[in-house]
With several copies, the nearest count.
Chain A
Amino acid sequence: MTLAEAKVVVEGLIFASESPLTASEIASIMELDAALVESLVEDIRSSYEASALTIRKVGGGYQFVTKAELAPWIEKLGRPVISAPLTAASTETLAIIAYQQPVTKVEIEQIRGVRSDSAINSLLERELIKELGRKEGPGRPILYGVSDKFFTHFGLTSLEELPMKGISEWK
Chain B
Amino acid sequence: MGYVIELDVYQGPFDLLLDLIAQNEVDLWDIPIATITEQYLEYLYSLQEQDLAITGEFLLMAATLIRIKSRLLLPQDPLPEESEEDQEDPRTELVEQLIRYKFFKEVAQFLDNRYAEASKHFTRGQALESLDLTPLYTNPFGDVTLEALGELYCQLLAELEKEQPLHRITGKISLPERLALVRLQLVGQPRATFSDLLRDNSAAEIVVTFLAVLELVRLGEIMLVQTESFGQIDVQPLQLEVEVRP
Decide if A and B touch, CB cutoff 8 A.
yes
Q: List the interface of chain A (C-beta within 8 A of B).
A: 12, 15-20, 28-29, 54, 56, 58, 63-71, 74-86, 88-89, 91-92, 94-96, 98-99, 111-115, 125-128, 149, 152-156, 162-167, 169-171
The answer on a CB contact under 8 Å between B108 and A111 is no
Which of B143-151, B192-200, B204-212 is found at the contact surface with chain A?
B143-151
The answer on a CB contact under 8 Å between B121 and A66 is yes
Distance of B17 from chain A, by nearest CB (Å): 9
Q: Which residue of A lies closest to B139 (CB)?
A: A83
Knowing A75-B131, A128-B141, the reply to whether A95 touches B104 (Cβ < 8 A) is yes
Give Cα A12 to B121, complex, Å. Answer: 10
The answer on a CB contact under 8 Å between A95 and B156 is yes
Residues of chain B contacted by A111 (CB below 8 angstroms): 97, 100-101, 104, 156-157, 160
The answer on a CB contact under 8 Å between B12 and A113 is yes
Knowing A16-B125, A155-B114, the reply to whether A91 touches B106 (Cβ < 8 A) is no
Which of B125, B131, B135, B139 has the most C-beta atoms of chain A within 10 angstroms of its own C-beta? B125
The answer on a CB contact under 8 Å between B57 and A95 is no
Instruction: Give the contact-size bracket for chain B.
Output: 35 or more
19 contacts between A and B (CB under 8 A): A15-B125, A18-B125, A18-B127, A18-B128, A58-B118, A68-B120, A68-B121, A75-B132, A78-B132, A81-B135, A85-B115, A85-B142, A88-B230, A91-B111, A95-B150, A98-B153, A114-B13, A114-B55, A155-B117
Give Cα A153 to B116, complex, Å. Answer: 10
The 5 closest A-B pairs by CB, nearest first: A155-B118, A85-B142, A114-B12, A65-B121, A95-B107
Give Cα A125 to B119, complex, Å. Answer: 19
Give Cα A161 to B100, complex, Å. Answer: 19
Knowing A79-B131, A86-B141, A92-B108, the reply to whether A64 touches B101 (Cβ < 8 A) is no
Give Cα A78 to B61, complex, Å. Answer: 46
The answer on a CB contact under 8 Å between B136 and A82 is yes
Q: B140: which of A15, A67, A126 is its contact (CB, 8 Å)?
A: A126
Beyond the given pairs A16-B123, A82-B136, A171-B157, 15 more chain A to chain B contacts, judged by CB atoms under 8 angstroms and listed by A's residue number, are A19-B126, A64-B123, A65-B123, A65-B128, A66-B121, A67-B121, A79-B134, A85-B112, A85-B115, A96-B153, A112-B14, A113-B57, A128-B140, A162-B149, A170-B161
The answer on a CB contact under 8 Å between A166 and B136 is no
Q: List the interface of chain B (C-beta within 8 A of A).
A: 6, 11-15, 55, 57, 61, 96-97, 99-108, 110-112, 114-115, 117-128, 131-144, 146-154, 156-161, 229-230
Q: Which residue of B lies closest to A31 (CB)?
A: B138
The answer on a CB contact under 8 Å between B117 and A68 is yes
Knowing A64-B124, A170-B96, the reply to whether A86 touches B114 (Cβ < 8 A) is no
Give Cα A166 to B120, complex, Å. Answer: 29
The answer on a CB contact under 8 Å between B157 and A167 is yes
Give Cα A99 to B100, complex, Å. Answer: 12
Q: Which residue of A lies closest to B146 (CB)?
A: A154
Residues of chain B contacted by A65 (CB below 8 angstroms): 121-123, 128
Residues of chain B contacted by A164 (CB below 8 angstroms): 150
Q: Which residue of A lies closest to B105 (CB)?
A: A92
The answer on a CB contact under 8 Å between A153 and B150 is no
Distance of A1 from chain B, by nearest CB (Å): 17
Give Cα A65 to B125, complex, Å. Answer: 10
